Structure 1
Amino acid sequence: MTIDEAAVRQAIADAVGGERLQVVRVTGTSATAVIDAGGLDGAARAALEQAAKAAGVAAGLDEVRVALTAEKRSRRILAVGSGKGGVGKSTLSANLAVALARLGRKVGLVDADIYGPSQPRLLGTEGRKPEARDKTMIPIPSPWGVPMLSMGHLVQPGQAIAWRGPMAGSALGQLIEADWGDTEILVVDLPPGTGDIQLTMLQKYKPAGAVIVSTPQDLALIDATRAIGLFDQGKVPVLGLVENMAGYLCPHCGQVSDPFGHGGAEMTARELGLPFLGRVPLDIAIRQKSDAGEPPAAGEGPQAQAFMGLARAVLAALDQTA
């Protein structure tokens, strides 16, 4: 019997996670699989090994030998940007980070909007101060499995931060270079526009990819195109566009209206040759939960499904750039 090596590889990847599977070699009706078990405890490593063996046998093998490694995966920065404010970028960043964590990734969140930090409210960590070890900040754990840092943790609520570019860039560095431990993906919520913070991010920290957030309306898309241009100049892959506030479902009459238009981000992505990553609706429940520090992505229902679908699309695009 001839065993399809590609089918075996896919079966084992589906069982253990494609990002963990490193090598598969098939010889006759046996195979050897090398799997990254970094960050897992003994029970989880054993479960990973058994899942790989079972998947190989189900694919027609008589035996699967599994070698577990503890290779440390490099951290990748995922920038979330927009050309203008008011498009829901921070809310989307917070929920994207939570959704990625639900998909099994070790995710951290940096609130790089130095002048208008909002992530402490969105993830329910307001009023907490980060500790430091050897002059390096330690991220604050959130209730949703995503450690985070923000200037909002370092100043009084409502306090204005009147800093020039170099000071803001230095603050960004302290957040990015904190002790993120075994974090794999660091989601960075950038401020709107294309200013000093974005330039520091591109030149010094080189994100692995960028997600651009826009509403469907023409004005927002014009500014989003400028943000795309900035990432292109910095040779940072733009993973795609997200259409936020895309359609409002009236809770009373059940009709869907489009106060910001419909399909603009998808059309712009097509015109620019970029992936369209998905839509997030204009939903009062998203606003209410966000104000309460309870990201909708952590729950169930259509709001969570929208963010989970977005996270899967972003993860697939990010892994393709690796």
Structure 2
Amino acid sequence: MEGVVCTVGCPSNAQLAGRAPQCEGCPGRALCQTSVAVGDPDQELIDCRMNAIRHKILILSGKGGVGKSTIAAALSLALSRMSFKVGLLDVDICGPSIPQLMGVQGQTVVNSSWGWMPLKSPIGDVKVISVGSLLETDSTAIVWRGPRKTALIKRFLKDTFFGRLDCLVVDTPPGTSDEHLTIVKLLNNVNPDGAVIVTTPQKMALYTIKKELDFCRKLSLPVLGIVENMSSFICPCCEENSELFPNSSVEKFAEEHCISYLGRIPVDPNLARCCEEGSNVEQIHPLSPSVKSLKDIAKHLQIRLMQNEIT
């Protein structure tokens, strides 16, 4: 139920909304029952748009500051260089950073007869749509409750003319809230491939990842794998590798929870600088350690997507 905090988790089957055992005591139960009864007239249009896209991937993180949006942008660029037709959807409504990362800041979304036309990134062949491109200025604050966020995410899916794509990468805000419930529910009919979870090696970050895994389990959203960001620091002069959190292991955590470990990305000043400038790190610093890591992660992700097609 959008806009309502549910302590147990909404049922993954939309037909059970308001009727499942966990709906007992939920303040939005009556509204969910009404919605199921009358149906959502926008869902058919959303399904039509999304069925033209082969793969749908959600990028999740348990907490902020782990580089989730950076990984979402970098993976989108990496997949596009692997001959994928890629779209990048930013549903981080209150903190959109994708326009800056993809170099489309200042560009305006055009509303055509086919719908909203996504922006074409100048640093890679990726179609981008974000609330950050709909604001009057970069300093405009978005102070919205859940229903308004839900309505905008629905418009992104229903009205954006992505066309035929191989992959749609969805950058979500940290945690598990209205945006996550909304996007998973709206994509339920078109079988999203699953979620890529981004974390750092800190124990606190790994602790919050357990909540993301529980969220995915409750909503029957497959977990494609976990990406370890800021894993170490590689000196740009001598290339010495220094572990930042030597007593923590994301790879071991992934093994214990039966999750695919997609790879690790070191702290790279070149990558950080490119993010600030809205440029492509592979084009400017092709030999940076983060570039090789991102390529390997994109290849592992490609294999998982191919496995999904077979099954």
Residue identity opposite 2:134 in structure 1: L
Aligned equivalent of 1:180: 162
Q: CA deviation at 1:263?
A: 5.6
Name structure 1 gaps, 5 residues minimum: 1-71
> SS where residue 147 of structure 1 aligns?
strand
Query: 1-side partners of 2:247 and 2:292: how far apart?
Result: 20
Aligned equivalent of 2:7: none
Aligned match for 2:213, one of 202, 222, 228 = 228
Q: CA deviation at 1:272?
A: 0.5
C-alpha spacing 1:106/1:262, structure 2 compared with 1 (3 Å): farther
C-alpha spacing 1:297/1:95, structure 2 compared with 1 (3 Å): farther
Query: 2-side partners of 1:316 and 1:263: how far apart?
Result: 27
Name structure 2 gaps, 5 residues minimum: 1-50
Question: Is 1:259 paired with 2:219?
Answer: no
Q: Is the 8 A contact 1:77 1:187 kept in 2?
A: yes
Residue identity opposite 1:92 in structure 2: I
C-alpha spacing 1:262/1:311, structure 2 compared with 1 (3 Å): farther
Residue range with higher mean Cα deviation, 168-177 or 281-290: 168-177
Q: Is the 8 A contact 2:93 2:149 kept in 1?
A: yes
Q: CA deviation at 1:95?
A: 0.4
1:37-90 Cα offsets, whole Å, 9 max, x none, are xxxxxxxxxxxxxxxxxxxxxxxxxxxxxxxxxxx9643210000010000000
Aligned equivalent of 2:127: 147
1:293-314 Cα offsets, whole Å, 9 max, x none, are 1132455223222111111111
> SS where residue 281 of structure 1 aligns?
strand
Query: 2-side partners of 1:73 and 1:152: how far apart?
Result: 25
Larger-Rg structure: 1
Q: Which has the higher contact order (CA 8 A, sep 6+)?
A: 2
Aligned match for 2:200, one of 212, 215, 225 = 215
Q: Is the 8 A contact 1:297 1:305 kept in 2?
A: no
% identical aligned pairs = 37
Q: Is the 8 A contact 1:79 1:210 kept in 2?
A: yes
Q: Is the 8 A contact 1:202 1:231 kept in 2?
A: no
Question: Is 1:303 paired with 2:293?
Answer: no
Runs of 4+ in 1 over 4 A off after TM superposition: none
Residue identity opposite 1:221 in structure 2: L
> SS where residue 104 of structure 2 aligns?
coil
Q: CA deviation at 1:136?
A: 2.0
Q: Is the 8 A contact 2:52 2:163 kept in 1?
A: no
Query: 1-side partners of 2:153 and 2:216: how far apart?
Result: 18
Aligned residue pair count:
251
> SS where residue 165 of structure 2 aligns?
coil
Q: Is the 8 A contact 1:213 1:243 kept in 2?
A: yes
> SS where residue 216 of structure 1 aligns?
coil
Residue range with higher mean Cα deviation, 236-245 or 224-233: 224-233
1:80-104 Cα offsets, whole Å, 9 max, x none, are 0001000000000000000000011
- TM-score, normalised by the number of residues in structure 2: 0.77
Cα RMSD (Å)? 1.7
Residue identity opposite 1:163 in structure 2: W
Aligned equivalent of 1:171: 152
Q: Is the 8 A contact 1:246 1:262 kept in 2?
A: no
Residue identity opposite 2:83 in structure 1: G
Question: Is 1:275 paired with 2:260?
Answer: yes
1:123-144 Cα offsets, whole Å, 9 max, x none, are 1110011111237211000011
Aligned equivalent of 2:80: 101
Question: Is 1:136 paired with 2:115?
Answer: yes
Report 1:1-322 matches (<5 A): 74-134=53-113, 136-143=115-122, 144-155=124-135, 156-177=137-158, 178-206=160-188, 207-252=192-237, 254-261=239-246, 264-298=249-283, 300-301=286-287, 302-322=289-309
Query: 1-side partners of 2:141 and 2:52: how far apart?
Result: 38
- TM-score, normalised by the number of residues in structure 1: 0.74
C-alpha spacing 1:141/1:170, structure 2 compared with 1 (3 Å): same
Residue identity opposite 1:314 in structure 2: L
